Chain A
């Protein structure tokens, strides 16, 4: 009886595996941003296949940068054609290799070589790097019907990272304007306009804090961002339970991000703006 139960369990496991194929394709990229200067013109990207199956990987580049929509959500604006005024480095980047196969539980390094035009002015030039990973195709049908229709779905994952090519000593900064806020039942929703200064993107964070009349911080938060031209993001702070009255809302733009090491980021002086808000 024990044996037959064991056999039944084995059959059930096999059946479950047959009807539920594990793709287990997993690609880790490090880092999420790559900065290359004009002295070395080279960079590297580490790709780690943490899955159990091999992955076909390809590297490509395109132009794009974060913008905000009408309600302050950030998204990546991309361009099929790039005009001369946009400092786009996408066409100058070559990856070695461009396509590779990474076995399960192994890693690979992709070298990035930048070949800019000879007369390139000093400054910062941007691109996005897309790492495309394809796993093996998986049959959708567990048991084909009498018509013998088989369907196969390929799953492809694209990871989009940022890239900066810096010639000379580019400088960045940011201007904060038009800070405003509206009170919702459980949150304070604010927006502020950030305009990049200098000749390089401002990649950093926006810190927000809400202080009571006694100067005590009652809510705070952090919004990592990249300002390439202008950005007008929205943010919210929890205010549920706070007593009614006057508060000071402060935002500060700083050139640090929790996910990126300082050597990738250009330093800029922090800037700050405050307004008074009334909680009902």
Chain B
């Protein structure tokens, strides 16, 4: 709830002026078939995954900038991220995570020193029938901001 104060925030040692964001895994759709929608669930091992730690866990924010389509030699392939395709947890376990809308700014609650926030992202791609063969690309941007 909001910018949460908690007694354990006092346990963070002073002067830990580092922050870290790690990309742990990219999205893996497996076989993509023309004319069908292929989805990757946010809790699956094929979802994209990041970890955020250090100074960003003192009330910072994170936000995705997501592509609408993957571009290549033919018609762009739509890629969609639903309002429930984001997942976050302070343990590396998507099953007990909290769903969020990846299109909105997310507040990072204050956490004890040593905590890591894990973030997962699912998506769906829908190549039209008779999609031109070739390589299609897009970029997912994760922006993490400290609130100093």
Contacts and interface: CB of A to CB of B under 8 A. Distances in A.
**Is A bound to B?**
yes
A29 B136 contact: no
Interface residues of A, number: 79
Contact of B4 (A151, A153, A157, A236): A236
B10 interface: yes
Given A149-B32, A157-B50, A20 B45 contact: yes
Interface stretch (A108-116, A137-145, A271-279): A137-145
Contacts of B130: 147
Interface of A: 19-33, 50-51, 66, 71-76, 128, 130, 133, 135, 137-138, 140-145, 147-162, 187, 189, 203, 206, 208, 219-226, 233-238, 256-262, 264
Given A149-B32, A150-B136, A224-B58, A29 B18 contact: yes
A29 B20 contact: yes
B56 interface: yes
B147 A73 contact: no
Given A143-B30, A151-B29, A223-B110, A25 B22 contact: yes
B145 A160 contact: yes
A19 B28 contact: yes
Contact of A25 (B12, B23, B133): B23
Interface string B12-44: 111111111111111111111110000000000
A156 B2 contact: no
Contacts of A259: 12, 15-17, 54-55, 58, 148
A258 B12 CA distance: 6
A147 B148 contact: no
Nearest to A188: B5
A160 B143 contact: yes
B74 to A, nearest CB: 9
Nearest to A133: B21
A135 B28 contact: no
Nearest to A163: B148
A66 B31 contact: no
B2 A236 contact: yes
Contact of A151 (B61, B136, B146, B148): B136
B26 A21 contact: yes
B92 interface: no
17 contacts: A22-B25, A26-B22, A28-B19, A32-B17, A32-B18, A32-B146, A75-B61, A140-B125, A149-B32, A151-B32, A152-B136, A153-B26, A159-B56, A222-B110, A236-B4, A259-B15, A259-B16
Interface string B124-146: 01010011011111111111111
Chain A to chain B: the 8 pairs with minimum beta-carbon distance, closest first: A221-B5, A31-B17, A26-B22, A258-B12, A32-B55, A148-B133, A160-B145, A162-B148
B46 interface: yes
Contact of A161 (B2, B61, B146): B146
B148 A140 contact: no
Contacts of B46: 19-20
Given A149-B127, A157-B142, A224 B147 contact: yes
A150 B135 contact: yes
B68 interface: no
Given A75-B61, A153-B140, A224-B58, A32 B19 contact: yes
Nearest to A18: B28
Nearest to A160: B145
Contact of A261 (B17, B58, B110, B125): B17
